[in-house]
Amino acid sequence: MKKVTMEKKIIKWGIIGLGKIAAKFATDLATVENAELVAVASRSEGKATDFAKKFGAKNAYKSYEALAKDAEVDAVYIATPHSFHKEHAILCLENKKAVLCEKPFAMNLQEVEEMIAVAKENNVLLMEALWTYFLPHFTYVLDLVKTKKYGELKKLEADFGFYNTYDTDRRLFKKEVGGGSLLDIGIYPIFAALSTLGTPVTIEADAIFFKNGADAECNMLFNYKNATAHLKSTLLENTPTEAVFTFDTAIVKINTQFHAPSSVTILKNDTEETINFDYKTIGYSFETEHFNTLLRENKKQSNVMSFDFSRSLISILDTVRESINLTY
């Protein structure tokens, strides 16, 4: 009997905001089956044209509105600075485009709620693009937590730090667009805690600030009923950028660049085993494939990166900001 296969719908993508992360996303999008980059947009016409040429998009727009109205586009990846996420997500949602919006979803819980409300009003798929949640090495560790293979998780230690010369012309240091360590990289250690231990009972935090008031470093302690999470983000020094999970009977370490494709080392009974995951892409392909599947199945939110999870994540970021007296 002849096997009948259903051909998957080709998801046609647009990208708004054409910086470094957008280039990585576009590079990986080219490896995803039944997906195509058809349009890109930047406030700079030259930048849009160059990006489109490099990544094979046929339409290059000098306005985000023009891309949002492109009838050919099914889904939009938003990679503009943090403070514009809400505005650009809503623009696309109101034009019935599915939206994959870079982390942090928005600047605070109120903005996130507005985005979710617009997505629901327009019956359109919306998801926060926190790529780590979909990486095989991280899902492997999540499974260890869930199955309690090594008993209960007692402690998490996670850091993310790199040195960068202070320069207020760069987005990373511009407080008004959400620059600083917390929203840019602190979100990853916080995500590691939330996804494995849940919402903490109490949060303690302190910070070091740059001259313009953006946070240069943030140290956090999350207290749980039977566990703790020691978290750090910094733009003042290079740190191991590891996530170390201490269970009852083993220590599990996600090695350097824990938020990106990495390896996992298991320390148990004086033995050490390192597991590699044979990554073939930068790592953005996994969240993209998940999102494409949701879109094909007519889902309106992710069962992994759900609205409730995004709400919890931004609420914790809000609590930390309040604790260190950081306002935007």
Are 263 and 137 a contacting pair, CB within 8 Å? yes
Question: In this structure, what are the phi and psi dihedrals at residue 243, rounded to the nearest 5 degrees?
Answer: -125, 120
One-character DSSP codes across 64-93? HHHHHT-TT--EEEE-S-GGGHHHHHHHHH
Are 224 and 203 a contacting pair, CB within 8 Å? no
For residue 243, the cross-strand partners are: 158, 254
Residues in the chain, total:
328
Residue-wise burial string across 267-287, b where 16 or more C-beta atoms lie within 10 A, e elsewhere: eeeeeeeeeeeebebebbbbb
Q: Is residue 103 annotated as a catalytic residue, yes or no?
A: yes
In angstroms, the CA 78 to CA 4 distance is: 36
In which element (H, E) is residue 188 found?
A: helix 187-197
In 3-state terms, what secondary structure has residue 108? coil
Sign of the C-alpha dihedral computed for residues 31, 116, 306 and 233 taken in this order: positive
Please pick, among 20, 86, 97, 103, the residue that the annotation labels catalytic: 103
Q: Which residues are the active-site residues?
A: 103
